[in-house]
């Protein structure tokens, strides 16, 4: 893995972390309303998978800010979207759960658990039908693996040999329900093994995430068949800002805090001689400034006009969609 990729990863993971910590603060101040789901703790999966997947299409759930930043969305248009402002990526009418930018091959932002899975399979079908070689990545939580459309999607992807990479972010909880109370099969990758190659990988370790997704991407695009990775990860915050999150033990939180993916990458990057303390200091300062500017931009941006409610509801001629 090249030094520049690891440097980029540290920048993006730190950007995602500080963005979300700041979004939490702004929510508490009342500048952000509606739902806000934070992915603090899951950055290695979001950044590692996106960097390894390159330009391909990505479909995700509602815990999506870090995916969007890693895909190239600007912190300004993302923060403005959370503030419901006209300058937001979805012109202020989507909010945190509905980020969408076809020019970045970023297709959501889905509030319905598992909804993105059949969408991604459809996109992979289109890719194959049109003779494209690029694959499609779809991310979803452990809770989504108990939904009916999840199985239908795995079945179709395997049956029709579609180039789709299923990324399961197993953070152990679906809102407050722990995985062992919701899933009869605890090792989630085993639920996919009958359909396609499937494995389990440490989702707190950027290097392992990047390597696993690189290998899987190669497989789906050369074989033209689906692949599945279950990443073991953790969210440090409650499910959303409206969840008190009192269902997890301090001991469990400590175990995962000790494996903090941003701190891990910082330590490993320095240990492996990929960057040094000065680089980390520079990036940390740059990120603080960028997020400060993003908040200022969001605060100063105008509200959308009422007529905005009726625009971009669907596209008749999708000229801005990358084929
Ligand atoms: C079809 C559907 N059922 C229920 C909900 C309510 N709901 C929102 S998030 C969630 C839990 C999903 O957990 P998981 O898939 O593990 O993702 P995570 O939040 O852990 O990232 C539920 C049940 C929903 N949004 N959509």
Helix and strand counts by DSSP (H, E) for the chain: 11, 7
Supply the residue whose CA is at minimum distance from atom 13 of ligand 1: 174
Higher pLDDT, 320 or 51: 51
Mean pLDDT of the chain: 95
**pLDDT reading at 315 higher than 90:** no
- The atom number, within ligand 1, closest to the CA of 175 reads 11
pTM of the model: 0.96
> What are 21-49's pLDDT values in tens digits?
999 999 999 999 999 999 999 999 999 99
Distance 121 CA to ligand 1 centre (A): 20
- The per-residue pLDDT for 321 is 59
At residue 311, the pLDDT reads 86
Q: What are phi and psi of 174, to 5 degrees?
A: -110, 105
Q: Is the pLDDT of residue 322 over 70?
A: no
Q: What are phi and psi of 225, to 5 degrees?
A: -135, 160
What pLDDT was estimated at residue 159? 98
Q: Pick the residue whose CA is nearest to atom 25 on ligand 1.
A: 112
Q: Which of 72, 16, 12 is nearest to 41 (CA)?
A: 16
Average the pLDDT over 58-82 and give the result.
Answer: 98
Within 10 angstroms of residue 129's Cβ, the number of other Cβ atoms is: 10
Q: How far is the CA of 174 from the centre of ligand 1 (A)?
A: 6
Closest CA to 47 of 79, 21, 78, 73: 73
Atom of ligand 1 nearest to the CA of 179: 16
Partners of 173 in beta bridges: 178
Closest protein CA for atom 19 of ligand 1: 174
User: Does pLDDT of 72 surpass 80?
Assistant: yes
Please write the tens of the pLDDT for every residue from 275-307. Answer: 999 999 999 999 999 999 999 999 999 999 999
Residue 227: DSSP 8-state: E
Which tops the pLDDT comparison, 102 or 313? 102
The predicted structure's pLDDT at residue 181? 96
* pLDDT given for residue 312 in this prediction: 80
Check: CB of residue 77 under 8 Å from CB of residue 44. Answer: no
Out of 174, 237, 247, mutate this one to test ligand 1's pocket (max ligand atoms within 8 Å of CB): namely: 174
| Per-residue CA distances from 278 to 172, 274, 318 (Å) | 36, 12, 46
Residue nearest atom 4 of ligand 1, based on CA coordinates: 113
How many Å separate Cα 272 from the centre of its chain?
27
Q: Which atom of ligand 1 is nearest to the CA of 235?
A: 20
Average pLDDT (173-193) is: 97
**How far is C-alpha 286 from the chain's CA centre?**
22
Average pLDDT over every residue of 45-70: 97
- What pLDDT was estimated at residue 323? 53
The answer to whether 100 touches 109, Cβ cutoff 8 Å, is yes
Mean per-residue pLDDT, 172-191? 97
Who lines ligand 1 at CB under 6 A? Answer: 63, 111-113, 141-144, 171, 173-175, 239
Q: CB count, 10 Å around CB of 181?
A: 9
pLDDT at 112: 96
Atom of ligand 1 nearest to the CA of 115: 1
What number does the ligand 1 atom closest to the CA of 37 have? 19
266, 209, 166, 217: which is closest to 42 by C-alpha?
209
Ligand 1, pocket-test mutation among 43, 66, 110, 143, most atoms within 8 A of CB: 143
pLDDT (0 to 100) of residue 317: 67
* pLDDT value at 319 more than 70: no
| Strand (E) or helix (H) holding 297 | helix 277-300
Alpha-helical regions (H) of the chain: 3-29, 43-53, 65-71, 75-82, 116-129, 148-159, 179-182, 206-223, 250-257, 261-271, 277-300
């Amino acid at each position: 893995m090249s030094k520049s990729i690891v440097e980029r990863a540290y920048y993006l993971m730190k950007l995602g972390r500080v963005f979300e910590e700041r979004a939490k603060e702004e929510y508490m101040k009342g500048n952000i309303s509606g739902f806000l789901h934070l992915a603090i703790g899951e950055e290695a999966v979001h950044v590692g998978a996106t960097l390894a997947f390159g330009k391909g299409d990505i479909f995700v759930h509602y815990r999506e800010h870090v995916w969007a930043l890693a895909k190239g969305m600007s912190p300004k248009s993302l923060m403005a979207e959370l503030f419901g402002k006209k300058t937001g990526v979805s012109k202020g009418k989507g909010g945190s759960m509905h980020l969408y930018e076809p020019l970045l091959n970023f297709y959501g932002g889905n509030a319905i658990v598992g909804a993105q899975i059949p969408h991604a399979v459809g996109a992979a079908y289109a890719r194959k039908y049109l003779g494209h070689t690029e694959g499609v990545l779809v991310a979803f939580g452990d809770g989504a693996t108990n939904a009916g459309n999840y199985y239908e999607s795995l079945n179709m992807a395997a049956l029709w040999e579609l180039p789709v990479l299923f990324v399961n972010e197993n953070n152990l909880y679906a809102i407050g329900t722990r995985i062992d109370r919701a899933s009869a099969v605890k090792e989630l990758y085993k639920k996919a093994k009958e359909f396609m190659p499937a494995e389990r990988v440490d989702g707190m370790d950027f290097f392992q995430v990047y390597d696993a997704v690189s290998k899987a991407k190669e497989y789906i695009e050369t074989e033209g068949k689906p692949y599945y990775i279950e990443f073991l990860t953790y969210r440090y915050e409650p499910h959303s800002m409206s969840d008190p999150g009192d269902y997890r033990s301090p001991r469990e939180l400590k175990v995962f805090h000790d494996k903090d993916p941003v701190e891990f990458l910082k330590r490993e990057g320095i240990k492996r001689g990929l960057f040094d303390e000065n680089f980390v200091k520079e990036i940390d300062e740059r990120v603080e400034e960028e997020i400060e500017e993003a908040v200022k931009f969001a605060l100063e941006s105008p509200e959308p006009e009422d007529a905005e409610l009726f625009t971009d509801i669907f596209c008749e001629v999708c000229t801005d969609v990358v084929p």
